[in-house]
Amino acid sequence: MADPNITGGRELDEFLQQFSVKLEKNIMRSALRAGANEFKEEIKANIPVDSGALRSSVRVTTKIKGGRVIASVKIGNKKTWYARMVEFGTRAHKITPRGAGALRIAGYVVADADHPGARPRPFARPAFDARAARAATAVGAKIRSRLTAEGINLPEPG
C-alpha cells in the first residue's frame, strides 16, 4: 500500500499563505479534484458491471467547509442506492413487504422471501489502495500548473 503521508505539506501551506484566500482555495479545490479523479477512474474500472448504472453514478465533488477544502468521490444515487451492498456484501435476511402488501418476485406474488445474502465485491477500497501515489502526484502537478498560470515558476520535484 502507498504511503498516505505527503511530505512538504507544511512548506506548501506556508507558500500558499502568500496568496489571497480565494485563490488559495481555488488552487486547492482544483488540485484535490485532480487527485480524486484518479480514484474515480480506478473505481469505475473496478465496479462489477450488470447494467452499468452503478459505474455511471461515480462522480467527484468538491466543497469548502469551515475553511477546509474537501474533495469526495461519491458512488451511487437514487437509482443505484445499492453501492454499499456491492462493496461490503450483505448477510442472509428476510425480505417483507411494506405495509399490508405482498412482494412480486420473478412473476410470483409472495408474502415474504428469504434472501441468501451476497458476497462482497469490493471496488472502492482497492481503487484507493492502487491509486494513492498517482493521486498525490496529480494533486502536486495541478498545484504546480495553477501556480505557473499565476506567474510563479517552481522547481521540478525530485
**pLDDT range class, residue 16, cuts 50, 70, 90:** low
Q: pTM here?
A: 0.76
- Domain-by-domain residue ranges, the chain? 9-90+122-149
Mean pLDDT on 59-85 = 94
State the Cα–Cα distance between residues 135 and 38, nearest whole angstrom.
6
The Cα–Cα gap between 109 and 71 comes to: 45
Instruction: List the alpha helices (DSSP H) in 1-158.
Output: 9-16, 21-46, 53-56, 83-88, 124-149
What does each C-alpha distance from 104 to 85, 92, 101, 108 come to in angstroms? 21, 19, 10, 5
Measured distance CA(46)–CA(86) in Å, rounded? 11
What is the C-alpha to C-alpha distance for residues 19 and 3, in angstroms, rounded to an integer? 29
> Residue 50 — very low, low, confident or very high, per pLDDT cuts 50/70/90?
confident
Which residues contact residue 23 at a Cβ distance below 8 angstroms, ignoring those fewer than 6 apart?
150
**pLDDT of res. 6:** 54
Q: What does the mean pLDDT of the chain come to?
A: 87
d(CA 103, CA 105): 6
* Each residue's pLDDT tens digit, 89-144: 999 999 998 887 889 888 889 989 999 999 999 999 999 999 999 999 999 999 88
pLDDT at 78: 95
